[in-house]
Amino acid sequence: MIRLVLSAAAALAATSAPAAPPAPKLVVAIAVDQFSNELYQRYRPTFTGGLKRLSDGIVFTGYQSHAATETCPGHSTILTGRHPAGTGIVANTWFDAKTGSSIYCVSVRGTADASARGPQNLRVPTYGDWLKGAQPGARVFSVSGKDRAAIMLGGHKADGVYWWNDGAGFGSSSYAGPSTPAVLAPAQAFDKALFARWKASPPELWPAPSATCAALAKPHMFGKLALSGNVPPDMAKEVESGDFMARTDFQDFLHATPLYDALTLQFADDILDREHLGHGPATDLLAVSLSATDYVGHRYGNGGAEMCVQMAALDRALGAFFQKLDGLGVPYVVVLTADHGSTDAAEREAETGVAAKRLDSGAFVGALNKAVEAQLGLAFEPIVGDDPQQLSINVGPDDALRAKVRDAAIAWLKTRPEVKQVYTADQIAAAAPPPGKPVDQLSVAERFNESYDPERSGDIQVEYAERTTFGMPRGPGDTVAGHGSPWDHDRRVPILFWWQGAPSEQPAAPAETVDIAPTLAAITHVPTTQVDGKCLTVVAGTCG
C-alpha cells in the first residue's frame, strides 16, 4: 500500500512539474514601450496574431516595481535583474548637482561628440553580458526606435546595437558597441533601400481602422489642444501630403504611427538573416524594443481609435515576426514585457467616472520656485523640476541654503491639493522594502526606494494623486497623456513567456521584470551576477 501511495505521488509530481523549454539556440526579448497591463488586458480578446500566440503561453501579471516608471529605468531592469536603484538608471534624464547640468541616461560624458550614446551610465551587466561570458561564440544584438531602449537591452558587450535616427534610418554609435563596416554597412544598405521605396511610393503610416476601432473615434479637448480622434489622425494626413520626406515634421510624426514598429521588426528580420542567429555554436540573444505604442499613447492617449489601431497593427506585425522565427528551424524562447505602463488623457478618463486630473507641471514647478524665491529672498530659481516627481535643489555647495530651500519647498508642496505626500531623500533611502515583501504590497515610499540612487536621484520625491496626467498640451504633437508615477497603472505590465510546446498558464502570483534575466539565465544554463529578481520556476522548470 505504501509503495502504491508513493508511486501515485511520484506520478502526480511528474505530471504537475513545470514543462521547461528545450535548450534554446535563440532567446528573443521584446519590450513594448508603454504597454500597460491594463492595455494588454483590454485588447487581449481581440488578438489573433503574435500577441495571441504569446497569450497562449505563460502569462504573468508583471510589475516594474519601482516608482520611476520611465523608458530608460524600465528598460534597465528587463535584462539586468536589478531595480533602477542598482542599475543607476533612475530616470530618462537626471540632474547632476556637481556640474549643474542634466544628464541623459545614455549620453557619454568626457567626449566632445554630442551624439555619443552608450551604456556607460549603466552600472551592472546584462543577461547578454552574462551569456557572452559563459558561452564563447554567443552573439547579442539589440534594436529599437529609441537609443536608450536599444542600449539598455544591449548591455556592455553587444555585437550590434541599433536605433532609428531621424532622416538617416537605423544606425549606432561607437560607444554603444562595435561600429565597424561589418556592423554599420548592412544598416546603411537597409536604410538606403527603405528611403528609395518611400520616395517611389509613400508608405502607409496608418492602416484603415476596423469598425471596432472606428467606433472609438471621438473629438476631445485635451488641455488646450483639440483632436478629432480620427484615424489617420489629422496631423498624419498633413505630413503625408506633397513631398512628405522633405518636411521636417515627417520623421517626428512617423514615431507615433504603427509603421514605426513595423520598421523596427523589419530591421530585426534583417539581423536574423544577416547574422544567422540561432545557427551558431552557442545561444544567441536578439533584443527588440518597439516604441510606437509609447509615442501613440503620449500623442493621442490610449483610450481612443488611435491606440486601437496601433494594438491591431502590433499584433499583426509580431505575428509576421514570429513566422520569421519559426522559419529559422531552431528552438527559440520569447519573452515580452514593457518598460512601464501608462494612464489615458485625464479628460477622457474623467468621462468614465475615474478621478483623473491634469496638472500643468511646468506652471506648478514655476509657482514652487517663485514661492521659495520670495520666502528666502533669492534672485534665481533654486528647484530643477523637469520631472515634477523628482525635484532637485540647484544652489551649489552651500549646504545650509540647500536645507532652507528643501524645507521651504516641502512646506509649500504640502499645502497643495494635487500632492498626496512629500519625501526627503533621507526618508526614501531609509525605506528599503523588507526581503521577500510581495511586489503588489510595497508602500509608495518603498517603490521610490527601488529607483533611488543617492548620486542621481532628486532631493525631494513627490507623490501626486493617482491618475494625474502631467503637462498641458497646447499644439499639435504635444503630450496629452503619459506615465512616470508610482501607481499601479504605471507599474503593472504583462510578462509573457512562449516557446514551442509551452504550457498555457496564468500564475496567480505576480512577477517582476527583474525576474526575467535570472529566468533566462536558468533556461540557458548561464551563471548570473547579483540580481534583485528571482528565477521563475513555472517557466524555467529548475532554478539553481
Residues assigned a catalytic role: 71
Give, rounded to a whole angstrom, the gap between the first and last alpha carbons of the chain: 34
Q: How far, in Å, CA of 46 to CA of 327, rounded?
A: 26
Residue 225 burial (CB count, 10 A): 18
Q: How far, in Å, CA of 165 to CA of 263, rounded?
A: 12
Q: What is the largest CA-CA distance in the chain?
A: 88
Is residue 78 exposed (0-12), middle (13-18) or buried (19+ Cβ within 10 Å)?
buried
What b/e sequence results for 358-371 when a residue is b if at least 16 CB atoms lie within 10 Å of its CB, and e otherwise?
bbbbeebbeebbeb
In SS3 terms, 325-374 reads as HHCCCCCEEEEEECCCCCCCCHHHHHHCCCCCEEECHHHHHHHHHHHHHH
What b/e sequence results for 278-317 when a residue is b if at least 16 CB atoms lie within 10 Å of its CB, and e otherwise?
bebeebbbbbbbbbbbbbbbbbbbbbbbbbbbbbbbbbbb
Q: Look up residue 208 and give its amino acid.
A: A
DSSP string, 421-443: EEEEHHHHHT-PPPTT--GGG--
